[in-house]
Structure 1
């Protein structure tokens, strides 16, 4: 192909001037790339492509184009200054300084200067504002602003310049996972595994995400490999065990035994010379709460509201969490604690020393499996009474953890031989839950003539063959009904193929639909009945479905992992929605589906029922916890 004539270049300049003036960067990118198809040696077109990429925050792409422009014509000052500034933005200071020095020896070009972005800092200005890891910092700021798309964008930009950045790879996967994009998280971690071969922390996170994406066999195999690579890494060993919790076919007793083995190996051991703290009369009890990273989790507001409602005359509260109390994720805890300690990355011994210094009477783990480093400290006696509140369904594995708080639905038996802890039953053994927003729309009543729409908020990790087989029975019982699933990257080709295959085995793929991702409100607004996943049910999610007017049907599973939604429903007096067998589960769903009047009456009354329930009232939750603490302290005083 022959090179363009001079008139073509003049036309490029004219069009580029207009697009730069109008700040139409997408069109500028198209113009430059189209021109390069005709003239792949055009330094001007590469420069314009670099400018367009920079204006669209694609720093890696901008650098690549600017480098080619420099290679095509190294005598243009604007190209070299653009390249040096871009390197500053990327944190590549040695390259920035190298090109900055060259730029001072080269003449300016009037045509190019017309295209330099007005908001582009000169090399000197950019250098004066330089920060370490600037792209990573942009990702952090985006995360604080809860802008996941921007966080993902800047993390990918950082990785493009720093492919061996473990921190960035893990943060990217964590952000994608938080958005429910499990398959994308798996792919990003696979890329990280190639960049950092044999890195146990990357492999461990990949194992977790494979489980989230529904690849259980691969997850377990990779988890076992990772454990063998770093047999002395407590966190990796712990994460691999916990990844088994979402497998409904994996017995909880077996997982508890593994966690106990982990506790015996990695938990703190009582020192023979140490003196255990002793319970005695107190006018004010000091209660320590290990909240860890709970500030970033879904139950954080409800937890903070409960803690803030404690009687401060009777209880002095000490918080142990991740980061400073002034950090955004912890601001909600500012009204909760008399004292706050940042324990992130603290070893168990230092954490235990900190607890002892505060003279904590009752130490409560409200972080569960989210803080394995601090959980290991419960292997020894830091406080007279040590309590596991929630988040550890297979037990803590720690010999000095005295109590697991539960209720009669989560644990019908009075004891669990698989646990070190003694079961202490409250009226409500669930994590704190607040009432959903009153602004959430209520499902409108239908005429009764439309086919029933069943809905389920179930990511791929919950769609085991066992789960699908039960929902298949429901659909067979209701031949006109459809099942709508929340879209957790099911639109990804590999995932959609698996989804079609799983329901296609029953000839039901055509009756499965997807709701828009990250819009649970819309999912429940289109449904008539909510089917709670059978494994690791989410009571807060079930509460939202109820609040939006949907009956929620669940199966009372074989262990506490699978009974949380059942506990919620029983506390609300809705035990008739809880099935004790697969047959009764299908029958309950079918009964609700066929009785439109019953569904209408339910919608009309459910919000009043929930508004009057104690489990949604922070003050009543706090009073319940205080009654528990009083009872436990009385036992400790008497040695019972």
Structure 2
């Protein structure tokens, strides 16, 4: 029976394996291997408590059972108890110090505890013990990346890829860091590897990274489907076990819950807190769930206070989070993370709420059957592109963008001289993240600088300890531009960062991944933004902002027009002043920064979503009319 259970567990037949193993244990309760394998079977169906109990029983019978120690540590880590998991993992290493798997697990435990240097040391030891283990090198690379050691991380991702060319994590990490560091010498081959991997169905290709690649909306959908399908398959046994059902009943107030990792000093918190605060409490009960860290910031406290109920679920296993959301009676669960880092996608795959929505945290489709709607406007996803989304598309009037009308104003700006900028020359600002600045974008920027004498390009150096700045200077020289025409700005707190934007003359947007919050920040600070939209959602957000403001002359239709407009504005200070005046008027007269109005539109959408659920009809896309028009 024990051997049968082992075979069934290896095959993934966890329910049958559990039955066989329980029969074996009934015959011989002292068989440590049977208890250990039972733990594996229970883990396979998402029963963490049962798995932990089984591993502990195995160790009670056989205290030096190394496999059970490692599996117990892993189950404890998955249950959100990394501090407790450290003990059996260390015990395993005391018995079998050369066990690569235990060193990798110890690294994951340290990472969960926020002990980045110790995590890196554990992963490094795993690579020493198993230099041909691609997973160990990927783990080390990810840890180094979290320590901001980007150049070292890239070398490790490259080592992992050399060992395993079909490793999705290695391809994803290698591509992202090449772009982040402006390492463009072999970028095209890495972009091709990612695109080919999507076509081949490789696991571990991060959809977020594909947003900044020259890919179509349909290709991004396929990448998202691939990622989400693996999550759905992995969580299917637990979803079956939980069996979270949803009653269709009228309510006086609809319970809407917002879920994010980033209720802290982060654009998600700064831009969305006004939405949470402006909801009509007579019609809606507003909850918040956060699986990220509490940084103790003012914005964290403001976000928490904006909810009628808030639950910190950091470290909770997905099943426990889903059960809590379900028990709280959430009617509509809003995903503010999508496929970005630390996204709670496994929770959404468990279907804790009857209606689940993708909104603004991720500029693309989720690609999974567990998300019903995506909320956008007609600029970011034109009607002809609706089939590039797995969700039903909800169109808000005017704009889908939400920002806080009470947000901080810029601090008093430093002088240009203090910032290392020319006192009179045109300052072109390119403050988007470095991974968004592709070679063809930099080609256009250097061409613009050559046509505007005395101008400079102002870029944020997001990682001063890396080769980022030196690499971009070398790229400028290759394009015939003196490296002194590039000026690098440090990362600063929000109000000081906004003050920098007031000093620049024109914000040059990137493609195919625009500035989103960064573009909104620039416009809020009074800095005009020049953009070139593409086909995909991520490439059209800045254009949506400008369209709402009525500044459509800053939405270029081609690369030639983008360069020509930038050069014209770079040479004409009077036209730039006129643009700033138009922008200031538009900010006060258009809906872009009218948080209360956007909230009313969202509430109309939520009410229709919930009515559709109550009716028993499947989700269907629709348009929300402006407040002045009736909405049956």
The answer to whether the superposition gives a TM-score over 0.5 is yes
Q: Matched residue of 1:585: which SS?
A: helix
1:315 deviation in Å?
Answer: 0.9
Aligned to 1:626: 603
- Residue 246 of structure 1 aligns to a residue whose secondary structure is coil
For residue 376 of structure 1, give the secondary structure of its aligned residue in structure 2: helix
Q: Find the aligned partners of 2:263 and 2:212 in 1 and give their Cα distance.
A: 20
User: Shift of residue 320 of structure 1?
Assistant: 2.0
Aligned 1:339-354 pairs, distance under 5 A: 339-354=309-324
Range with greater deviation from structure 2 (460-469 or 367-376): 367-376
Q: Relative to structure 1, is the Cα distance of residues 578 and 436 closer, same or farther in structure 2, using a 3 angstrom cutoff?
A: farther
Q: Which residue of 2 aligns with 1:309?
A: 278
CA distance in structure 2 between the partners assigned to 1:382 and 1:510 by the alignment: 53
Question: In structure 1, what is the Cα distance between the partners aligned to 2:480 and 2:176?
Answer: 31
Distance 1:225 1:155, change over 3 A: farther
Deviation at 1:278, TM superposition (A): 4.6
8 Å Cα contact 2:278/2:595 also seen in 1? yes
Rounded Cα–Cα distance in structure 2 between residues aligned with 1:282 and 1:480? 64
1:201 deviates by 7.9
Counterparts of 1:478 and 1:605, CA distance in 2: 23
Q: Distance in 2 between matches of 1:443 and 1:566?
A: 29
Q: Secondary structure at the match of 2:394?
A: strand
- Establish whether residue 246 from structure 1 lines up as the match of residue 217 from structure 2: no
Q: How far, CA to CA, are the matches of 1:205 and 1:546 in structure 2?
A: 32
Cα separation, partners in 2 of 1:614 and 1:182, compared to 1, 3 Å:
farther
Structure 2, unmatched stretches of 5+, are 1-105, 127-135, 417-421, 621-632
Report SS of the residue matched to 1:524. Answer: helix
Tell whether the 8 Å contact from 2:474 to 2:483 is kept in structure 1 after alignment: no
What is the distance in 2 between the residues matched to 1:403 and 1:570? 24
Task: Pick closer, same or farther for the CA change 1:612–1:184 going to 2, 3 Å.
Answer: farther
For 1:26-425, list aligned pairs within 5 A: 164=125, 173-176=145-148, 182-183=150-151, 186=154, 208-215=176-183, 216=187, 237-238=203-204, 240-247=206-213, 249-267=214-232, 268-269=235-236, 271=240, 276-322=245-291, 330-370=300-340, 374-379=344-349, 381-413=351-383, 415-425=385-395
CA distance in 1, matches of 2:112, 2:347: 30
Contact 2:270 2:407 in 1 (8 A): no
1:564 aligns with 2:541: yes
Does the 8 A contact of 1:455 with 1:523 survive in 2? no
Cα distance change, pair 444–616 in 1 and its aligned pair in 2 (3 A): farther
Residues 562 and 467 (structure 1), Cα distance of their counterparts in 2 relative to 1, 3 Å cut: same
Q: Decide whether aligned partners of structure 1 residues 434 and 534 sit closer, same or farther in structure 2, where only a CA change above 3 A counts.
A: farther
Report the alpha carbon displacement of residue 465 of structure 1 after superposing the two structures with TM: 1.9
Counterpart Cα distance in 2 of 1:240 and 1:398: 14
Partner Cα distance (2:487, 2:415) in 1: 20
- Deviation by residue 1:53-90 (Cα, 9 ceiling, x = unmatched): xxxxxxxxxxxxxxxxxxxxxxxxxxxxxxxxxxxxxx
- 2:481 matches 1:515: no
Q: Which has the higher contact order (CA 8 A, sep 6+)?
A: 2
Number of positions where the alignment pairs a residue of Structure 1 with one of Structure 2: 484
Residue 457, structure 1, aligned to residue 423, structure 2:
no
Secondary structure, aligned partner of 1:354: helix
Whole-angstrom CA distance in 1 between matches of 2:313 and 2:116: 26
Q: Which residue of 2 aligns with 1:118?
A: none
- Cα drift, residue 407 of structure 1: 0.6
Contact 1:441 1:525 in 2 (8 A): no
- Over 3 Å counting, the alpha-carbon distance change for 1:190 and 1:157 in structure 2 is farther
**1:411 is paired with a residue of what secondary structure?**
coil
Match for residue 587 of structure 1?
564
The superposition leaves residues 427-478 of structure 1 with CA deviations (integer Å, 9 ceiling, x where unpaired) of 3223545566334357999xx9954332211444223222122224433543
Q: Residue 530 of structure 2 aligns to a residue in which SS?
A: strand
Give the corresponding residue for 2:505: 528
Distance change in 2, residues 1:555/1:182 (3 Å): farther
Q: 1:438 corresponds to which residue? A: 409
CA distance in 2: counterparts of 1:518 and 1:591, whole angstroms: 30
Q: Distance in 2 between matches of 1:564 and 1:255?
A: 16
**2:433 equivalent to 1:467:** no
Q: Aligned in 2, Cα 1:505/1:403: closer, same or farther, shift over 3 Å?
A: same
**1: CA distance between counterparts of 2:585 and 2:247?**
46
Aligned equivalent of 2:472, options 484, 499, 509: 499
My pick for the range that moved more, 433-442 or 537-546, is: 433-442
Matched residue SS, 1:420: coil
With 314-323 and 435-444 compared, the bigger mean Cα shift is at 435-444
- Name 2:575's counterpart in structure 1: 598
Q: Deviations over 1:213-252 (max 9, x none)?
A: 244468669989999xxx8xxxxx45634322222x1333
Structure 1 Cα separation of the partners of residues 343 and 501 of structure 2: 38
Bigger Cα Rg: 1
Question: TM-score with structure 1 length normalisation?
Answer: 0.63
Counterpart for residue 61 of structure 2: none
CA drift at 1:490? 7.2
Secondary structure of the corresponding residue to residue 368 of structure 1: coil
Kept in 2: contact 1:213–1:460 (CA 8 A) = yes
1:94 corresponds to: none
Unpaired runs of 5+ residues, structure 1, are 1-132, 144-153, 232-236
Other-structure match for 1:429: 400
Contact 1:321 / 1:342 at 8 angstroms: preserved in 2? yes
CA change 1:351–1:492 in 2 (3 A) is closer
- Comparing 585-594 with 306-315, greater Cα deviation is found at 585-594
Conserved in 1, the CA contact under 8 Å of 2:460 and 2:490? yes
How far apart are residue 199 of structure 1 and its match? 12
- Alpha-carbon distance in 2 for matches of 1:611, 1:304: 20
Cα drift, residue 340 of structure 1: 2.8
SS in 1 for 2:369: coil
What TM-score do you get using the length of structure 2 for normalisation? Answer: 0.63
Are residue 485 (structure 1) and residue 459 (structure 2) matched? yes
